[in-house]
Structure 1
Amino acid sequence: MGSRRWVSLAATCTAAGLVWLAFADFGVATPTIADEMHADLSGLQWANNAFSLAAGALVIAAGKFGDIFGQRRVLQIGIAVFGVFSVVAALAPGVGTLIAGRGLMGIGAALILPATLALIPMQFSGRTQLTAFGVWQAVAWGGQALAPTVGGLITDGPGWRWMFWINVPLAIIALLVIRWATPEASDEKADRSVDWVGLGAIGLAVFALLYALTDGPTAGWDSPVVIGLFIAAVVLAIAWVLIERTVASPLVDLSLFRLRPYDGALVANLMMNLGYAGLSYVLVLWLQNARGYSAVEAGLLLLPATFGIFALIPIGGRLDARVGGRLPVLVGLVVLAVGMAVLGPLQPDSSLWLVVIALIVIGAGLGLLSTPVSNTAVGGVSERLSGTAAGVFKMSSMVGGAIGVALLTAITHGLTIADSHEAVKETGLTSDEVDQAHAALVNSSSYSDALTTLPAELQQKVTAAVVDAFTHGLAVTTVVTAVLIVAATLVVWWVWPGQDAGTADETGES
């Protein structure tokens, strides 16, 4: 079993890596797909979003299914679903089929992620468990960081459809290796009944929240649909809690949330995903709109974050082994906040070294956090709760990322509008033209369209006004994010006990 478990880890991390690549590699290909399919970019945006919406809505249920039916079995089903519907997406003749393929791939992703995490404590313990979680997190962050570059290279090379075709052989290899090397892990005493009502409530709650956060920046936060979705998410979440407290076999055992280290890890995980996903999104827009880089070049310029991540993940694991997870998590959050604050002085003509240094520091914070957070949230709970814990943990990642993109985009956009409004109006543009110029903050292609409608003598002035405002808005947003991370650090410090409590004692198990 000694060497076979590492082979198993390689296969499960391959499956997880395919998911993380799929989360972030599609966006860079959308202009090319739009041209080929003669499609509207907004429709393709839903092809991108369908994946995360399906995965986020179902990931908690998938964690519970692993506890009931076996983590390996659920993982294999997830890989098969992911691979089959990658073929559907690869062969898609139009946007509708592409949206369906990506959405159904998201169901496979939901089954894959919690199972790959839950299988780690079943095969590893002690320091090797920390190492295994570190490897998993390195694959997760590396996949997200590399995805735009990989997507761009594939799109410019063999073509965008190969972003899906490449999943098929890798999925088959992962399936075969997992079947050979990975032992089954499930609770034989677990109630085999499924809380379908609770599943529907939490699935719809998360779907409504993610849909609102996704649609808000374009439809407007005062849109009746967006407001209605937020209200629905709150009502459904409250209903879900009430359901889980009354049913005999709940989807999520709410005693999980009485584990204070687990709660602290969830807060930290949500915040690290909020900060990094939100910053990545607005920083790529800034690099494209303010500095003129292509999507692929902007993706490459985000890679310095991986240096800090890969360098500090082992250190975070060693600190966890020596002093517990609380200290490296708190230090990691502070380092993450410092990295965000480094971008505070950003100017339109700032050296890219400022961005590189900030990303390396941000990556260092993420690296310190990653292993202790996942080890506490998944490895630190009883085997009976491991799948459920992993599902809730990954849901916090997806919700945190969605909130981050929506929140940081909204703050940056609002500050930019406020700063640039008068300067742009002075150019003599009409109100519609002013709004069109401001569309640069959401979609780089609309920025180009806006400029081409202007007289040549006004283009430079408009560009300078919007870029200055956009840069100031981004700089202030990073400082606001740093403050939010510091606030989250205080919450984690308060929630997470000074001495890591034994989860077995808190759950009443031995």
Structure 2
Amino acid sequence: MATDPSGAAPAAPPRRVPEAVHRRRWAILAVLLLSLLIVVLDNSILNVAMKTIATPAPTGLGATQSELEWAINSYTLVFAGILFTAGVLGDRLGRKKVLLFGMAVFGTGSVLSAFAGSPHELIAFRAVMGFGGAFVMPATLAIIVNVFEREEQPKAIGIWAGAVGLAVAIGPITGGILLDHFWWGSVFLVNVPIVITAVIAMSLLVPDSKDPRPGRLDPLGVVFSVAGLVLLVYGIIKGGQLADFTDPEVYGTVCGGLLVLALFVLHERRSRHPALDVRWFRNRAFSAAVSAIALVFFALMGVTFLTVFYTQSVRGFTPLQSGLLMLPLAAAHMFFAVRVRRVVAKLGVRVVCTGGMVMVSATMACFLLLDQDTPVWVLEVLLFFQGASMAHIMPPATVSIMQSLPRDKAGSGSAVNNTFRQLGGALGIAVLGSVLSTTYRDGISARIDALPGLSEEARHAAGESIEATLNAAARLGPQGKALIGPAGDAFVHAMHVTVLCASASALLGAVVVALFLPKRGAMRPPAGAARPDGRKEQAGAGA
């Protein structure tokens, strides 16, 4: 060890993370990944189970396409609406306490969802799961930032993002196996042993941390955000269900949602303790990273929603086979996500994220190659490149968001990251699902109208989705066989229109990233810079 001229050994630089925590940081990360795994796993399992849930009782619940969209979005909207409050509560009460609470609520919602007796009950219980998940996600990322030194954070967050790929792989396969042997509710009940294991491990290993100067709660902001999002998404989904966006119920709720969200922004700008501090978005690079995450999940979730029906309803694969088909996407995401930091170090975050967004756009557009007889390896290649592209967006964008805020605001930074990811996914399912539904109805309505013996209500219901058409065809017996081929053709055409919209959204994200993300480095505020609450950021401050 070098010494100074006086012969004394120089003092070691102060460690911001306690040594005892630093030594077990990888074990802590493994436990946190278990909680992340269950939240992502549940959504990926649900994707492969949608066709089964759409099947009439006793096999499923007989859910319509709009009810399936709400089963996904009830979770997402509650999750996104209270994420900021959950992040503030974690900063104030302790992130470990909030994490354990969220896991308990998530497990309870899983049990209730497993035994739901109708689509509406499933929608409500999924909202309970979303409430619990909102307390889990920001706490995991905030704890990671607080147990890893700054130089190791990109690696840890890369592993965190790679775990998403693992969950995407495990979820559909697990769901397929469960649906082959058990009833549809088993895809939710499987969460319970994972929750119990995770809670025990967290209690023993994970340290608690707080923000020494936490923000205050903003209940009015939460009400505005949830109400505005629910109205907006309801209007979009209803428009797809009716195939008429000029209906007063549709444009009235959409406009009402936009108005309430505008009130939310005005309230947040004036509030001394906002749930979402909109001043953070003055940083163009911060806004670009958030936009990239939202737009890529807008495209991904919308296309994932339709891919399940393409593989099962059009191509005839079982749920397990459909789950196995998702392996290339998950494997590529998991492989590249933990290595992308090396590429970012060489090329810079702007080049890497822009390239990833362009590739996502290209793979979405290449779904135009798929029809009812396309070799399945074409889909597998597209999914592989889609997963690899996602891996070059999510980790660097997440690191940029997390390192742009003071360390003691890690909960808030995690909430921003996860909120816009969930909002992008919710709007992707709503908007792209409505495009899919409207285009499909236009393509199949003439065939349905030509069949005798169907009431006007039955004709409308049969045209909402390919699964509804196939169910109607099965009820009609031999006469209904004439619908099967045209239903597949109409769905493939609707899928092509939808993926072009998804491709355009990803391309828009590429433009935003190319213009506003920094070439290299993170977006860390300098020491002494003003914090969002008006105080000065101190160098080395931590929780």
Same fold (TM over 0.5): yes
Alignment pair present for 1:484 and 2:508: no
Give distance in 2, aligned partners of 1:165 and 1:154: 10
- What is the letter of the counterpart of residue 231 of structure 1? C
Percentage of matched positions with identical amino acids: 25
Contact preservation (8 Å) 1:264, 1:495: yes
C-alpha distance in structure 1 between counterparts of 2:300 and 2:83, whole Å: 21
Structure 2 residue aligned with 1:208: 231
Matched, 1:475 2:493: no
d(CA) in 2 for partners of 1:4, 1:391: 25
Once the two structures are superposed, residues 142-181 of structure 1 have per-residue CA deviations (whole angstroms, 9 ceiling, x without a partner) of 3245423322322333544443443333223222322332
Tell me how far apart the structure 2 counterparts of residues 362 and 448 of structure 1 sit (CA, whole Å). Answer: 32
Equivalences, count: 506
| Structure-2 separation of matches of 1:383 and 1:179 | 23
**Contact 1:57 1:207 (8 Å CA) reproduced:** no
Cα distance, 1:381 vs structure 2: 2.0
Partner of 1:31: 53
CA distance in 2, matches of 1:196, 1:391: 16
**Which of 26, 37, 50 is the matching residue for 1:17?**
37
One-letter identity of the residue aligned with 1:492? V
Using the TM superposition, give the Cα deviation of residue 336 of structure 1 relative to its aligned residue in structure 2, in angstroms.
Answer: 1.0
In 1, the alpha carbon distance for the partners of 2:183 and 2:443 equals 40
CA positional deviation for 1:319: 2.2
Q: Which runs of 5+ in 1 are unaligned?
A: none
1:289–1:440: 8 Å Cα contact kept in structure 2?
Answer: no
Question: What is the CA–CA distance in structure 2 between the aligned matches of 1:336 and 1:218, rounded to whole Å?
Answer: 28
Question: What CA distance in whole angstroms lies between the structure 2 residues aligned with 1:34 and 1:379?
Answer: 49
Change (3 A) 1:158 1:201: same
Shift of 1:365: 0.5
Question: What SS is found at the alignment partner of 1:349?
Answer: coil
Query: Take 1:37 and 1:274, find their aligned partners in 2: how far apart are those partners?
Result: 31
Q: Provide the TM-score with structure 2 as the length reference.
A: 0.83
Aligned partner of 2:86 in structure 1 is 62
Question: Contact 2:233/2:254 (CA < 8 Å) preserved in 1?
Answer: no
Query: Structure 1 residue 5 and structure 2 residue 25: aligned?
Result: yes
- Which residue of 165, 168, 179 corresponds with 1:155? 179
The one-letter code sitting in structure 2 at the alignment partner of 1:314 is V
**1:315, distance to aligned residue in structure 2 (A):** 3.2
- Give the Å deviation of 1:98: 4.8
Residues 500-509 or 240-249, more deviating:
500-509
Q: What is the SS of the residue equivalent to 2:222?
A: helix
Cα gap change, 1:173 to 1:362, in 2 (>3 Å): same
Equivalent AA in structure 1 for residue 63 of structure 2: L
Gaps of 5+ in 2: 1-20, 532-536
Larger displacement relative to structure 2 (179-188 or 409-418): 409-418
SS in 2 for 1:504: coil
Work out whether 1:77 is the aligned partner of 2:98. no
Q: Mean Cα displacement is larger for which, 219-228 or 347-356?
A: 219-228
Q: Which residue of 2 aligns with 1:263?
A: 287
Pair 119,327 (structure 1): closer, same or farther in 2 beyond 3 Å: farther
Is the CA contact 2:403–2:522 (under 8 Å) kept in the aligned structure 1? no
SS of residue matched to 1:50: helix
Distance 1:446 1:176 in 2: 47
- Paired with 2:488 and 2:222, the residues of 1 have a C-alpha distance of 46
| 1:41 match | 63
Alpha-carbon distance in structure 2 between the residues aligned to 1:224 and 1:145? 42
Q: How does 1:20-419 map to 2 (within 5 A)?
A: 20-26=40-46, 28=49, 30-31=52-53, 35-36=57-58, 39-42=61-64, 45=68, 49-90=73-114, 98-191=122-215, 193-220=216-243, 221-419=245-443
Query: What amino acid sits opposite 1:308 in the alignment?
Result: A
Aligned residue for 2:368, secondary structure, equals: coil
User: 1:133 touches 1:371 (CA, 8 Å); kept in 2?
Assistant: yes
Q: Give the superposition deviation at 1:90.
A: 4.4
Aligned Cα root-mean-square deviation (Å): 3.2
Between the aligned partners of 2:169 and 2:530, the Cα distance in structure 1 is 37
Q: Distance in 1 between matches of 2:54 and 2:260?
A: 38
> For residues 393 and 11 of structure 1, what CA distance do their matches in structure 2 show?
20
The structure that has the greater radius of gyration is 2
Alignment partner, residue 4 of structure 2: none
Give the corresponding residue for 2:524.
503
* 2:464 is equivalent to residue 444 of structure 1: no
1:122 Cα deviation from its structure 2 partner? 1.0
Does 2:486 correspond to 1:459? no
Residues in 2 aligned to 1:466 and 1:94: alpha-carbon distance in whole angstroms: 26
Specify which of 507, 514, 527 is matched with residue 493 of structure 1. Answer: 514
Letter aligned with residue 466 of structure 1 = A
Contact persistence 1:259–1:503 (CA under 8 A): no
Q: Deviations over 1:192-251 (max 9, x none)?
A: x31221222122223333434444432444443333332232112111122122222222
Q: Is the 8 A contact 1:130 1:321 kept in 2?
A: no
Q: Specify whether residues 52 and 33 from structure 1 end up closer, same or farther in structure 2 by C-alpha distance, changes over 3 A only.
A: farther
